[in-house]
């Protein structure tokens, strides 16, 4: 089962191209800091603006860098079933441990259409599939009933749920049991999701705070609520700040503050504004990721 703190990786850019050196540094740092798995080419990785060749290259390079030390869950979703199958087959061929497949966006398929989409994808591939439900971006919402029907497909092994209804993980667990993998897609409610039957979080924040995000998850498993709450509270401002403007612009700015990459994003996204940067700076200081200007002067 996939569990713990799983990072939805940013794709570092430099001069409009993928910055492979920064990408490798980021992945290695994630592993060293205790991250349980990585997701290349998710929304946080700006998959909508990657070419098909770049998409394949990012997944392939990630798998090579990781070298089986932690799971690689490749983002392979599309609003075209044929395209999603193609991307999933490429990830499968490259050796990904699973595919994260977002609900088809823009088309607004019915529940029957959603089920047919995932069944076609399942039947055309041979890799574990994690369904990604994110109504805020895809407009469609995969119902609990539909998710349970999808789970009858042998290689549909879990769900990433970016939904405000925290009753859903418990409802799914009661119907499918604890063996069906449930991962939160919302950093700000990741601990509540665990309490409701979840197994982990596919996180944006862990791009820049991997150790703290891993602490939240590992402390929960150990029953160390004091340690979990300490990490949760340190991260609270950061979770909010990293979504004060369209993601991943704020988290890329945060990554640039840590020397992990540039803050460059691809159009139609633009870099974080001055006000967003101020919020991210404050949140990073609160989490202990960077020193405040006054502290630097005191040490200086």
Active site residues: 132, 160
Contact between 159 and 143 under an 8 Å Cβ cutoff? The reply is no
Centre a 10 Å sphere on the Cβ of residue 67 and count the other Cβ atoms it contains: 10
Which residues have CB under 8 Å from 293's CB, separation 6+? none
- In angstroms, the CA 95 to CA 73 distance is 10
- In angstroms, the CA 258 to CA 183 distance is 27
Task: Report residue 265 as tokens.
Answer: 């994003």
Task: Report residue 36 as tokens.
Answer: 């349980």
Contact between 160 and 183 under an 8 Å Cβ cutoff? The reply is yes
For tokens 């997944």, the residue is 59
- Is the Cα torsion angle 249, 251, 257, 262 positive or negative in sign? negative
Contact between 13 and 222 under an 8 Å Cβ cutoff? The reply is no
Strands (DSSP E) contained in the chain are 4-8, 13-14, 17-18, 37-39, 73-75, 98-102, 129-133, 156-161, 181-184, 200-203
- In angstroms, the CA 149 to CA 132 distance is 15
Task: Report residue 177 as tokens.
Answer: 């049991």
Which residues have CB under 8 Å from 150's CB, separation 6+? 114, 115, 118, 119, 131, 142, 156
């Amino acid at each position: 089962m996939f569990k713990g703190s799983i990072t939805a990786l940013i794709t570092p850019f430099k001069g409009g191209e993928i910055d492979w050196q920064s990408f490798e540094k980021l992945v290695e740092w994630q592993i060293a800091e205790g991250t349980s798995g990585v997701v290349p080419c998710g929304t946080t990785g700006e998959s909508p603006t990657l070419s098909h060749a770049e998409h394949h290259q990012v997944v392939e390079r990630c798998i090579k860098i990781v070298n089986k030390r932690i799971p690689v869950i490749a983002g392979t979703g599309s609003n075209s079933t044929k395209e999603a199958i193609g991307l999933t087959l490429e990830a499968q061929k490259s050796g990904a441990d699973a595919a994260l497949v977002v609900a088809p966006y823009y088309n607004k398929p019915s529940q029957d259409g959603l089920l047919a989409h995932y069944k076609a994808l399942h039947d055309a591939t041979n890799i574990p599939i994690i369904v990604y439900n994110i109504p805020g971006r895809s407009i469609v919402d995969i119902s609990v009933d539909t998710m349970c029907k999808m789970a009858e497909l042998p290689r549909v092994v879990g769900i990433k749920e970016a939904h405000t209804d925290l009753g859903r993980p418990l409802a799914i667990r009661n119907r499918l049991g604890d063996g069906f993998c449930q991962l939160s897609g919302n950093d700000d409610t990741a601990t509540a999701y665990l309490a409701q039957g979840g197994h982990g979080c596919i996180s944006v924040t862990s791009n820049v705070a991997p150790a703290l995000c891993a602490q939240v998850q590992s402390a929960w498993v150990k029953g160390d609520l004091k340690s979990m709450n300490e990490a949760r509270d340190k991260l609270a401002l950061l979770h909010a700040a990293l979504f004060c403007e369209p993601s991943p612009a704020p988290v890329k700015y945060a990554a640039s503050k840590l020397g992990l990459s540039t803050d460059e994003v691809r159009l139609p996204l633009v870099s974080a504004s001055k006000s967003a940067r101020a919020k991210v700076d404050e949140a990073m200081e609160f989490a202990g990721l960077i020193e405040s200007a006054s502290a630097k002067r005191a040490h200086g």
